[in-house]
Every structure is written in C-alpha cells, then in structure tokens.
C-alpha cells in the first residue's frame, strides 16, 4: 500500500462506522498551551475537556503533526521524525474500549492484511478491562498481551486530557533483535503501529491526574509513516514512498549514497525529515523568526542547511527538498502545490541569509573547538548567534559532535532572557487554580449568551463574581471584581478586537465595566469597579455597553478587513495576518512580509482601501459550517479559534473572512482610513498602523493646518509648499558650503599663526595654545592642519571652549609616536582638570569636560606634560 492508499483505507473504514471525516487541522494550534500541533487529538481537545459540545459523537482524521522536543536525535535513528502524520479515530462520550479494541484489530488484520501471528499488544498495568477485551472478546493469545507502566499512559506533557492506553505492535522478525515481545524484547524488532488511548482523566502536570473528564472518550493514533514501512516491507520510515523521495533529492544534491556510511546517512535522514517539516510549517503560515514557533522553524531549517553545506553541493539545498516534498505529498495535501511559490520564496531568503555567515561561523567554531577544549564559552555561543545566525541549539549540536559542552547559562545571561524552545509557556488563564474557578462557573451556570451583535443593552442576572481569584457572593462600592452574567451585550476581547466597556446596573448598585474578556472560551468575564451601592449574585442586572466606543471599534474592525485585502492585493497572498489590535479610532495590523514596504506601495495600499470605502459596499455576516465557509473562500487566521459553526464577514465581493467581531453595516461607515506608520516587528514580520473614522479625519485636519501654517511662513499656497521647501533646502546647502569654505580658510590662517608660534624642545616642535571658541570637529581639523604646517616633527595640543564646555585635541607626529610619545597620555591629566576624560590614542586624542572656565589651567598642565615627554627623548 502506498501512503495515499493507507490514508483512504483508514478514513473509509471508520466512515463506514459512522465517523465524521475531518480534514487535518493547521500545524499552528489554537490551544495556547502548545507551540505546534503535535498529536492527532489536538484539534479535538476542547471536546475532551468538555469546554465545547462536539458536533458529532465520532470522528476520524489524518492529522499532520510536528514534534521537535527530541530534535537532537532526529537522523541518528531510523524511527524518529519531526514531521509525521497521525491516523486517528475518536469517540466523544460514545463508544469506549469495547469497540475501539475490536475495530483496531479488524482494521489491522482484515483491511491492511497484517498477519495476526506477528502482532503483539500492551495494556496499562492497572487495566484489567482492556486485557480481558483483547483475550476474551477479540481472541488473541494471552501470551501476546503484556502489561506496561508509563509507556501505556498517554499524556501531552502539558495540562490537559490523559488516560491509559493499549498499543498494537508488529514483530519484524528475529533478524531485527531478541524475542520477548514489546516489553522485554528488542525495540528494533517490535515496533508500535497503533496506540489506543482511553481518554478518561485530566492532569495538571505530566502523570499527575487530578480528576476525570466529563465523559469517557477514545483517542487513537496510528503513525502513517510507521505503518507504511510495515506494509511496504522496507527497513524504516525513511524508505517509504513519501520520505524516500525527499531523501533522494538530498542524495542528488550532496552526491552521497544512502547506506554508504552512518555519518552521511545521519545527514541524509536529517535533510529528508527537515525538508518535510519546513515545507509544512511554512505552508501553514509559520515564518522564520527568533522566538516561538518561528524560532523552531529557523532552527530546523538551518540545521538542515548546515548538514548539506558540510558535504558541498552546488546552489541552495532547501528549494530542492521543498520541491521533492510537494511532489511526494501534494496528493494528500493539495494546498502545498498552491503555496509552493510562497514556501520556496521564504526558504530561499532564509537559506541565502544563513549561508552568508555559515562559513565564517564554522571557522570560528573550528578555532574554538580544539582538542584541549572541554567547554565552549557562552560568549562565543552568543557571538555565533548574534553575528553568524547560529541558533544556540545548532552550536550545541556541533560542539557535541566534538565531545564539547556549551556554557548555556552564560549564553542565556548575555541574551538577557531565556528563549522559548520546544515547549510553549502556559499562556491561558493565570493559574490552574484560576482555571478551576472559571470551570466551576461553567459547571454550575453554563457559558455566556452573547447578544451583542444585535443589542447594546440586555437584561439578565448576575450568576457569579470573582474577587482576587476567589468566588464571592457580593461586592461593595470601591471593589474591583470579575462579573459573570447569564447573557451580555459586552463583546469579549478576541480576534484583535478589544473588549467592550460600559455599565452593569442592579436595584442596589452600579458597576463600571472597564474591559471584557474570555476567561475560558465562551465565558465572558466583565472586569468592573462598583461605583455605587452593592452588587450581589442572583440579582437581576441591566448591562449596557458604551455605544459610541463600540461604534468607533466597529469602524476600525471593518477597516482592518479592507486593509488586509489591500495588503494581499498589492504585496501578494503571502501577506497573511499575524496579529492585530482593533481599538476605537485606530488599528494595528501585523502581517508576513520579507522587507520594508516602500512608500510608493503604502500609498497604493492606502488608496485602494479608501477607494473601496468610498464605494460603500454592503458588509454582511452569515453563520455557517466551517467547511462551507472554506468553500466560500473565507480566510482564517492562526491563533483564532473556530468551532464547527463559524461566523463569516463579507465586505462587498472582495473580502471574505472568518470573524467573530463587530462591524459596520457598510464599508463607507468606516470613514477615511489613514496609514500612519510601517515598521518591522521581527524577522519577516511587518506592522502597519492606521487611524479610522473621526480620528483619521482629525489627523487630516492637523496635517492640513500644519501645511497651511508652513505655507503662511513661506508666503506660499499649500500646494506650492513642497517646491518652496526644496528651494530653501537647496539654498541652505549652498550657504553651508560657503560657510564651510570660510571656516576652512579661517582654520588654515589660524593654523599658520599657531605653527609660526611653535616652540622648540630638543629636536621637536611643540604647540600648546588656545584656539578660542570652536566645536569638537573644527578643533580636530585645526590640530591636523597645524601638524601639516610644522617645519618638523612635533606635538600639538589645542584647547577650545563652546557653551561653557572645554575641549582638547592632541596630535603627535608619527616620529614621536614611534619613540613612545602618546598624545592621549599627554592630555589625560588636563582632561581631569576640565572635569572629564578622553581617548588614549597615541597619535590623535580628544578629551573634554564641563569646566571650560578652567581651560588656562588645563593648558598649563598640558605644557608641562608635553615638555617633560619631549625632554626625555
């Protein structure tokens, strides 16, 4: 079976058993506890947690995954991959072990045709039920079922769902190692092909179970690459139809032959694996950067480039690996072909940038990693990162190849902050304890009914309130609490749009809401200060948003959609949203792009936006299924969370986006949109800021008034101001040239006078004098001029004052410097008299301080120092 056939067989098998076939989710998860989608169950986690109601009882998917926690061993074994596909079937409170286990056996033996005599099974050491199903219901030999410990308890390494598991193994035969089964035998002989997880618990840290999930669930995972290796009867996952194609491209580039030697085989496996990982990450919108998932991508890409570089090869390597990956994988993932040009553009830029410093960085490492070196300093690691673009992990890997450790602590102190590597920090609610408080609100009262799309005021009741992380029954005047209502018109911050503010009133008190947020998806927390009386749980309450503020926010949000359309229209479809902030009267929009946007392009973008706004197209919103929205061409953004029912916002016929925010009824209501800035916020990330509505109009009025005032000063109408300013600048430049010529002539004359007054100390000339009022640069030019006019070698020290400060310049001829005289040392003590310091250059030294009134004293000290220095020669 080819990989595509396996995918089709798996989804068809479970579709026939009433499973909803789900497409692969993005590698960029909406789950804030994860950096990457690293398991097949990640898109279904809210259903397992009970945070959302699943739209189906059963589902099946083929999920693309990236896992880089163990990236250092990728390539060193034939089993590990950083990119892989997981075949999975899922049950949300429907069937459990009694169906999952028999179906697993049936698919393996009857669909895939695996020989039951070569299959083994493991269960958790406490799971009598699973063992009984395997032996009594399925009928496998009891001696083929083994009990395991932690390996048979599934968890993701972060807070979330977990549970015991049962694994199916394939016996590759005695030529691959000792017998004994999965537990006790050789791991190269017995390979896991399917993990059946009985999701019934929740943990707050790895292996620390804190309770049961709301319902018993099934989550299974079969690695497509591993089962393909079994079915295609090849030695490893690097020999299957998809991966071997990419490995072949690596062979062609490097000139190496896979199997010729372990050292070169490691590099070829790294290139094959990392080529796939890079392709899929960029295809899903990840851009190389210095933090988060962008850092992971950069590290993987540069690791591959380094391994290719050490074997030579003509041209760039990553583009060849991407081409091969798209050829091998686009049947299963057609979007790869659509995004290929963008992916190639990103990797080409990144590889070219890294290759410029790779050779010199490696030379530095080779110099430092001598036979006597046992530890590489953190300062060198930092220099490699900062100057040569070596991720610290790449430096550690290269050093480890030589048996050398890296002082990571020193590196991190120089970076001033630890970088987030393979795991994302918890970015959700503040603590696990706080999360439990909010879940308790959901358990007792359910989610918030949001009515803010249609109403700005609503009547409801106070369900709960939280003060300093604890549930309370009431709040008094002056206290700040988080209020939870059964229904609310307040929009909770999401999708870049800030939360609403306003009032919540009861018969006994009033609270001012300053912000609204999703403490847990679907539960609106109103941050409020009681300004009058007392509020209590259970009271009827009227909630009213700040209507003018909401209207200004609407204008900015609709403006953001139109701006996004214009950016993609002018710059290209790669200009995907990477973040946004939508506030009253202003917006900020982050997007993927490789370079500064030229001023001319910004003008075109702004023009297109306002042209669309003037057209005053209708803004419509519809609710539909996620699949139908994607068929409509709606654009979705990573970091935003979408359920199976989604809201789509359309502006005219040119912009269609997933969006849960609030919008104007027509595009024209946005008013003008004025771009105010464009800047870089990271590698391959840009940011534009803009004003909308009356804020934009006020800005235009200010600019117009400033232009009119300037015109008044120039006695010119506004339209002629640029030409008049150009003429003035040209005139100023001419006058500055004339002034420079006058100053140069004056310095030359002064240099002649000072040179003529030079004294004689032994065989050398000495000038110590005041030059009057001069700036530092003019004083320097004068000192050099005096040296040129001296009749022989000598030493010149000049002093000058300006704005109360004193400056000194010391100039020594080369002959004096060769005999040990230093201009810097001669003026050092005098600089102290002026209250400052200076440079120590022996030939040309400058110094100064705030006490210009002590210049005569300083020059007297310099004269004594100079005469002493020359008299000793």
Assess whether pLDDT exceeds 80 at residue 363.
Answer: no
Beta pairing class for 619-625 and 586-592:
unpaired
User: Is the model's pLDDT at 2 over the cut of 80?
Assistant: yes
- pLDDT higher than threshold 60 for residue 418: no
Given a cut of 90, whether residue 526 has pLDDT beyond it is: yes
pLDDT recorded at residue 30: 81
Q: What is the pLDDT confidence band of residue 387, given thresholds at 50, 70 and 90?
A: low
Give alpha helix (H) positions in 494-585. 547-571
- Confidence class for position 627, pLDDT limits 50, 70, 90: confident
Q: Is there a contact between 81 and 272 (Cβ–Cβ < 8 Å)?
A: no
Share above pLDDT 90 across residues of the chain, in percent, rounded to a whole number: 63
Taking 50 as the threshold, does the pLDDT of residue 110 lie above it? yes
Nearest CA to 794 out of 770, 811, 773 is that of 811
Tell me the pLDDT tens digit for each residue of 790-844.
Answer: 888 999 999 999 888 999 999 999 999 999 999 999 999 999 999 988 888 899 9
The pair phi, psi for residue 779, each rounded to 5°, is -65, -40
Task: Judge whether residue 434 has pLDDT over 70.
Answer: no
Q: How far apart are CA 215 and CA 94, in angstroms?
A: 9
The band of 433, judged by pLDDT with boundaries at 50, 70 and 90, is very low
* 797: nearest Cα among 743, 872, 855: 855
Residues in the chain: 873
Instruction: Specify the DSSP element, H or E, that contains 194.
Output: strand 190-205
pTM above 0.75, yes or no: no
Beta-strand relationship, 480-485 and 457-467 = antiparallel
pLDDT of amino acid 427: 36
pLDDT of 514 over the 70 cut: yes
Reply yes or no on whether the pLDDT at 352 is more than 80: yes
Q: Which residues contact 634 (CB under 8 A, 6 or more apart)?
A: 646, 648, 656, 657, 658
How many alpha carbons fall within 13 Å on the CB side of residue 599? 0
Q: Which helix (H) or strand (E) holds 161?
A: strand 160-171
Q: Answer yes or no: is pLDDT of 720 > 50.
A: yes
For 607-684, where are the E strands, in sequence order? 619-625, 645-651, 655-658, 673-682
Say how far apart CA 792 and CA 284 lie, in whole Å: 73
Q: Do residues 550 and 456 lie in contact, with contact meaning Cβ atoms separated by under 8 Å?
A: yes
Using one digit for the tens of pLDDT, what is the confidence trace for 196-222?
999 888 888 877 888 887 778 999 999
Given strand 586-592, what is the order of strands in its sheet?
577-583, 586-592, 685-692, 673-682
Mean pLDDT of 572-595: 91
Residues 221, 88 contacting (CB under 8 angstroms): yes
Residue (of 417, 416, 436) closest to 425 by Cα position: 417
* Residue range 373-384, pLDDT digits in tens: 778 888 888 877
The count of C-alpha atoms lying within 13 angstroms of the C-alpha of 755, restricted to the half-sphere facing its C-beta, is 20
Please give the residue that has the higher pLDDT: either 436 or 448.
Answer: 448
- Encoded tokens for 4: 């595509």
Q: What is the per-residue pLDDT for 546?
A: 97
| Cα 204 to Cα 181: distance, rounded to the nearest angstrom | 33
> In percent, how much of the chain has pLDDT > 70?
96
Q: How far apart are CA 297 and CA 108, in angstroms?
A: 35
pLDDT band at 640 (very low <50, low <70, confident <90, very high): low
| Gyration radius of the chain over CA positions | 36
pLDDT at 442 over 90: no
* pLDDT value of residue 702: 95
């Amino acid at each position: 079976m080819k990989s595509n056939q396996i995918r089709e067989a798996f989804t068809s098998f479970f579709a026939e058993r009433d499973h909803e076939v789900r497409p692969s989710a993005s590698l960029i998860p909406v789950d804030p506890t994860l950096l990457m989608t690293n398991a097949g169950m990640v898109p279904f986690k809210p259903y397992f947690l009970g945070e959302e109601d699943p739209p189906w009882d059963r589902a099946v998917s083929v999920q693309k995954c990236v896992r880089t926690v163990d990236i250092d061993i990728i390539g060193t074994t034939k089993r590990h991959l950083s990119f892989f596909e997981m075949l999975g079937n899922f049950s949300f409170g429907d069937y459990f072990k009694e169906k999952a286990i028999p179906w697993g056996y049936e698919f393996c033996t009857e669909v895939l045709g695996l020989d039951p005599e070569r299959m083994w099974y493991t269960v958790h050491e406490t799971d009598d039920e699973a063992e009984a199903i395997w032996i009594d219901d399925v009928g496998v030999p009891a001696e083929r079922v083994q009990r395991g410990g932690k390996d048979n308890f599934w968890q993701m390494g972060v807070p979330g769902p977990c549970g015991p598991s049962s694994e199916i193994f394939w016996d590759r035969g005695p030529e691959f190692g000792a017998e004994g089964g999965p537990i006790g035998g050789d791991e190269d002989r017995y390979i896991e092909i399917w993990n059946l997880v009985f999701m019934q618990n929740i943990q707050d840290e790895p292996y620390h179970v804190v309770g049961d999930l709301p319902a018993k669930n099934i989550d299974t995972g079969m690695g497509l690459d591993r089962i393909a290796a079994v079915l295609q009867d090849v030695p490893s996952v690097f020999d299957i139809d998809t991966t071997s194609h990419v490995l072949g491209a690596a062979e062609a580039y490097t000139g190496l032959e896979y199997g010729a030697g372990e050292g070169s085989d490691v590099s070829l496996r790294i290139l094959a694996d990392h080529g796939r990982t890079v392709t899929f990450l960029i295809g899903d919108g990840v851009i190389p950067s210095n933090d988060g998932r962008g850092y992971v991508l950069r590290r993987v890409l540069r690791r591959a480039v380094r391994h290719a570089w050490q074997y030579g090869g003509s041209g760039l390597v990553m583009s060849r690996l991407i081409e091969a990956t798209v050829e091998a994988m686009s049947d299963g993932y057609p979007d790869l072909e659509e995004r290929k040009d963008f992916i190639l553009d990103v990797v080409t830029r990144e590889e070219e940038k890294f290759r410029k410093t790779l050779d010199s960085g490696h030379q530095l490492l080779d110099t430092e990693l001598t036979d006597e070196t046992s530890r590489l300093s953190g300062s060198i690691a930092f220099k490699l990162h900062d100057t040569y673009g070596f991720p610290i992990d790449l430096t550690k890997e290269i050093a480890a190849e030589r048996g050398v450790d890296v002082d990571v602590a020193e590196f991190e102190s120089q970076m001033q902050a630890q970088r987030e590597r393979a795991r994302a920090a918890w970015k959700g609610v503040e603590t696990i304890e706080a999360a439990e408080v909010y879940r308790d609100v959901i358990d007792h009262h359910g989610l918030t009914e949001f009515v803010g799309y249609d109403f700005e005021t609503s009547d409801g009741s106070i369900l709960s309130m939280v003060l300093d992380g604890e549930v309370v029954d009431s709040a008094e005047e002056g206290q700040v609490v988080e209020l939870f209502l059964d229904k609310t018109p307040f929009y909770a911050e999401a999708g870049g749009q800030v939360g609403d503010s306003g009032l919540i009133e009861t018969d006994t008190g009033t609270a001012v809401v300053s912000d609204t947020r999703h403490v847990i998806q679907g539960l609106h927390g109103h941050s409020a200060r009681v300004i009058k009386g007392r509020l209590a749980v259970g009271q009827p309450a009227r909630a009213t948003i700040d209507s003018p503020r909401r209207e200004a926010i609407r204008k900015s949000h609709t403006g953001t959609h139109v701006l996004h359309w214009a950016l993609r229209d002018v710059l290209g479809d790669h200009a995907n949203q990477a973040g946004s902030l939508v506030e009253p009267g202003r917006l900020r929009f982050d997007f993927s792009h490789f370079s500064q946007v030229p001023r001319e392009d910004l003008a075109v973008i702004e023009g297109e936006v306002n042209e669309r706004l003037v057209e005053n197209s209708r803004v419509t919103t519809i609710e539909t299924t996620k699949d139908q929205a994607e068929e409509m061409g709606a654009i979705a953004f990573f970091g935003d969370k979408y359920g199976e029912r989604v809201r789509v916002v359309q502006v005219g016929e040119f912009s269609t986006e997933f969006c849960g925010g609030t919008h104007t009824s027509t595009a024209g209501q946005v008013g003008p949109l004025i771009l105010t800035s464009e800047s870089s916020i990271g590698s391959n990330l840009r940011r534009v800021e803009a004003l909308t509505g009356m804020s934009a109009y006020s800005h235009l009025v200010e600019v117009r008034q400033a232009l009119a005032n300037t015109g008044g000063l120039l006695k010119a109408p506004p339209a002629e101001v640029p030409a008049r300013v150009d003429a003035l600048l040209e005139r100023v430049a001419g006058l500055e040239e004339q002034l420079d010529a006058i100053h140069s002539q004056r310095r030359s004359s002064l240099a002649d006078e000072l040179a003529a007054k030079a004294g004689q100390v032994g065989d050398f000339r000495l000038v110590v004098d005041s030059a009057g009022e001069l700036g530092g640069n003019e004083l320097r030019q004068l000192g050099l001029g005096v040296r040129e006019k001296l009749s022989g070698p000598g030493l010149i020290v000049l002093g000058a004052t300006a704005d109360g400060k004193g400056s000194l310049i010391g100039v020594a001829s080369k002959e004096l410097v060769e005999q040990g005289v230093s201009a810097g040392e001669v003026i050092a003590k005098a600089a102290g008299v002026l209250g400052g310091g200076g440079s120590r250059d022996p030939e040309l030294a400058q110094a100064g301080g705030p006490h210009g009134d002590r210049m005569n004293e300083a020059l007297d000290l310099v004269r004594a120092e100079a005469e002493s220095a020359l008299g000793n020669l």
